[in-house]
Amino acid sequence: MKKTLKFLLLGLLLVSCASKNKVLEFPLVGASNTTKLVFEKVELTDTATVLTVRGFAPEHWIKVSPNIHLVTQDKEYELIGSNGVELGKELFMPEDGDSCFTLTFEPLSNTCSEFDFIDVGAKDGWRVYDIDLTGKRNLANPTGLPCELKHTSKEASDTPEYAYTFGETTVNIHLMGYREGCVTDMVFPVNSMFEGQRSIDVEIDPATGTGSVTFMQYGTGCAFPVVNGCGYGQFFIAPNETVDLFVNLAYINQTLQYNYENYKNLAVKGCWTKGSVYDVLNNRDSEDVIALSDSLLIDEFIRYDMTADEFTGALIDFYRAVCEHADAQKSGSWAKEMCKADAFNVCLVFLNQDYRRWAERESSVPADYKHDPILPEHYARMFACVDIENPWLLMNDRSEEVAKAAQKMQPGSTDSTLACWGKARGAVEKAYKNELTDAELQTMRSWNNSFYADMCEEILRCTRESIANSSKDLEHVEDIAPEALFQAIIAPHKGKVILVDFWNTWCGPCRKAIKEIEPHKNGTLASDNIVWIYIASETSPIGTYSEMIPNIKGIHYRVNETQRDYLTSKLFDIDGIPSYVLVKKDGTFSLRNDLRDINKMVTVLKEELEKE
């Protein structure tokens, strides 16, 4: 009996000891401010918690801070060791961007079901929240999602229609799973047929994880909540709506799988809407999407040495193959229509950009091979494959490509919808440049839909209003020779530190960098001895430009093409924007693209200020 009891006690002891030894592969996270890290494995023992981490930042570096802690509700757990990475030192990622290392922390409590991974020593350091240790987390219905949105149908009887109207749209944003510090940046790109993509900055309340944006919208838009540089799905909105947008921050798990081939394939939905005419479309089951097989990759249909006729034929073959594939699926009719529309619009992207030039050139093709041009007749062949009146054609994040292609067809009349699309796109471009004449606007009144003229008239009104309001913020240098321009710009500020920012309104990284540095101008870099100079080109539409610059503290220049080419190609070898030129107090200057790192920019400017 004693021997039996002894073995029972020993067995219980072994079970007790083994219960702490636990391994989880790719644990789900609740929210993260980075896509550069994925936790491949978490090992829990009595003596340590070991994280196997994969860093992903192709041809860039990451730095693992020694101040990283694991945090639970009641305790912080210190980092006690590492392997494969030197703490506090830069680790350069190879071309594939994949590097593996381990971090060892103090052992987590037995009762811990989730933990946070936080760089406690840096405000903008890594923060990954609610890392699951149960293996049972359900991502389908996140906390904070209204009950009526949790059970969505795959489709409805009525086909969504394109909204030929314009007006102010308001989107109220709710970040589900939000934890303070997990969102460093949020933008709101809206794609529309006639404007292309507009990117709207979103201010998130750090205490509540909510925000709101209001903007002018022309026609149906396809929008994307982008948090910390990562997209969280897409949704459609119509002008004049007030919509609640619920963003699932756990969607980051879905994003990470694309970087790591062994990651779980998750069916996670990124966002839902409430209050839009497109709610049913937006809130469809995330699994009701038709995937294309490797044999249906469009690149496989294209050759570098194709004639324009062959190229167009190949795109048509691809489109028809996708249609056949979609029709063979068991998915709902909406999923099939969206798959077909997406394939058609991808074909238009390839046609608009003449993708032959980017296809792999076989060694048998001469290096000086010349492509024949894409002509209006090729666009006509492509459009002949679809029903122009099919509303699904425009319910797409690439609807702009439809208008671009219609514009390149060079229609002579405006009797058809297709002709109106093409001419309206050209008119919108001119309206944003303040170049649309009253006579042209009057001609548009005879088109088959008054929407086009009304839209352009409103854009023209807003453009002129912005120009008037920003006139005091813009310096005029159109009469200065390119060779003398830079000295003319910096000469009035002799003896001061000058940061010259080359940017444009259409450049997302430019806008992001401006947004990040702006608070420092009245904070750590508040000084009369720093001059902020912004140089854009005429590729920035004057309406959009005039609307933006009053909110950017500094001196603004919008240079012409000749001036731009001299500054960016001859005076400075600028490889992209944003690019920065630092002018020191003694007047010497140099291109400093290392200042694309905002933290380094702040440090360098402080150092220059302190110099005599």
Per residue in 509-525, pLDDT (tens digit) is 899 899 889 999 998 89
In DSSP terms, which residues pair with 450 in a beta bridge?
Answer: none
The strand pair at 186-192 and 221-223 is best described as antiparallel
- Let me know if residue 137 belongs to a domain: no
Are the C-beta atoms of 118 and 69 separated by less than 8 Å?
Answer: yes
3-class secondary structure, 84: coil
Q: What is the pLDDT of residue 139?
A: 81
Find the angle CA(593)-CA(91)-CA(48) to the nearest 5 degrees: 145
pLDDT tier at 9, thresholds 50, 70, 90:
very low
Are the C-beta atoms of 496 and 608 separated by less than 8 Å?
Answer: no
Gap between the Cα atoms of 38 and 62, Å rounded: 13
- Mean residue pLDDT across the chain: 88
Q: What is the pLDDT of residue 11?
A: 46
Same-domain status, 302 and 194: no
Phi, then psi, of 197 in degrees rounded to 5: -105, 130
Gap between the Cα atoms of 504 and 98, Å rounded: 32
Q: What is the pLDDT of residue 504?
A: 95
The amino acid sitting at 469 is N
> Which of 194, 188, 191 is CA-nearest to residue 165?
194
Phi, then psi, of 242 in degrees rounded to 5: -115, 115
Choose between 468 and 241: higher pLDDT.
241
Domain endpoint, select from 82, 109, 132 = 132
Gap between the Cα atoms of 114 and 129, Å rounded: 9
Domain endpoint, select from 446, 468, 490 = 468
Same-domain status, 162 and 110: no
Phi, then psi, of 591 in degrees rounded to 5: -75, 125
- Let me know if residue 138 belongs to a domain: no
Same-domain status, 497 and 454: no
Distances (CA, A) of 221 to 26, 161, 168, 398, 400: 36, 12, 12, 10, 10
Gap between the Cα atoms of 354 and 311, Å rounded: 9
- Let me know if residue 526 belongs to a domain: yes
Average pLDDT of the residues in 556-583? 93
Same-domain status, 407 and 452: yes
Same-domain status, 436 and 364: yes
CATH number at residue 93: 2.60.40
Domain endpoint, select from 250, 282, 314 = 282
Q: What is the pLDDT of residue 163?
A: 95
Gap between the Cα atoms of 486 and 484, Å rounded: 6
Average pLDDT of the residues in 185-208? 90
Q: Is the dihedral of CA 516, 519, 522, 525 positive or negative?
A: negative
Are the C-beta atoms of 422 and 409 separated by less than 8 Å?
Answer: yes
The amino acid sitting at 601 is M
pLDDT at 16 over 50: no
Q: What are the residue ranges of helices labelled H in 148-262?
A: 252-257
Same-domain status, 221 and 314: no
Residue 481's CB: how many other CB atoms inside 10 A? Answer: 11
> Which of 418, 383, 559, 423 is CA-nearest to residue 484?
559
Choose between 151 and 52: higher pLDDT.
52
Range of the domain at 208: 147-282
> Which of 507, 607, 609, 597 is CA-nearest to residue 548?
507
CATH number at residue 537: 3.40.30.10
3-class secondary structure, 189: strand
* pTM metric for this prediction: 0.84
Per cent of the chain over pLDDT 90 is: 57
- Let me know if residue 519 belongs to a domain: yes
Gap between the Cα atoms of 369 and 329, Å rounded: 41
- Let me know if residue 312 belongs to a domain: yes
pLDDT tier at 287, thresholds 50, 70, 90:
low
pLDDT tier at 198, thresholds 50, 70, 90:
confident
Same-domain status, 515 and 404: no
In DSSP terms, which residues pair with 117 in a beta bridge?
Answer: 70, 128
pLDDT in tens, 325-373: 999 988 888 889 999 999 999 999 999 999 998 888 888 888 888 999 9
CA 101 centroid distance within chain: 28
- Let me know if residue 503 belongs to a domain: yes
Choose between 144 and 55: higher pLDDT.
144
Choose between 426 and 293: higher pLDDT.
426
Same-domain status, 422 and 494: no
* CB half-sphere exposure, 603, CA atoms < 13 A: 7
Are the C-beta atoms of 362 and 304 separated by less than 8 Å?
Answer: yes
Are the C-beta atoms of 206 and 277 separated by less than 8 Å?
Answer: no
> Which of 478, 472, 488, 473 is CA-nearest to residue 538?
478
- Let me know if residue 396 belongs to a domain: yes
Same-domain status, 382 and 429: yes
Average pLDDT of the residues in 223-250? 94
3-class secondary structure, 457: helix
Q: What is the pLDDT of residue 259?
A: 60
Of 12-16, 270-274, 464-468, 608-612, the one with minimum mean pLDDT is 12-16
Total structural domains within the chain: 4
Gap between the Cα atoms of 59 and 95, Å rounded: 5
pLDDT at 587 over 70: yes
Same-domain status, 259 and 116: no
Q: CA end-to-end span of the chain, whole Å?
A: 89
CA 284 centroid distance within chain: 22
pLDDT at 153 over 70: no
Q: What is the pLDDT of residue 487?
A: 94
pLDDT in tens, 454-510: 999 999 999 999 888 888 788 888 889 999 999 999 999 999 999 999 999 989 889
Gap between the Cα atoms of 319 and 483, Å rounded: 51
Same-domain status, 75 and 36: yes
Q: What is the pLDDT of residue 606?
A: 93
CATH number at residue 198: 2.60.40.10
> Which of 60, 62, 58 is CA-nearest to residue 96?
58
Average pLDDT of the residues in 76-86? 91
Distances (CA, A) of 358 to 299, 355, 373: 10, 5, 15
Same-domain status, 453 and 333: yes
- Let me know if residue 142 belongs to a domain: no
Are the C-beta atoms of 175 and 210 separated by less than 8 Å?
Answer: yes
Contacting residues for 54 by C-beta, under 8 A, at least 6 apart: 37, 38, 40, 98, 99, 100, 260
Per cent of the chain over pLDDT 70 is: 90
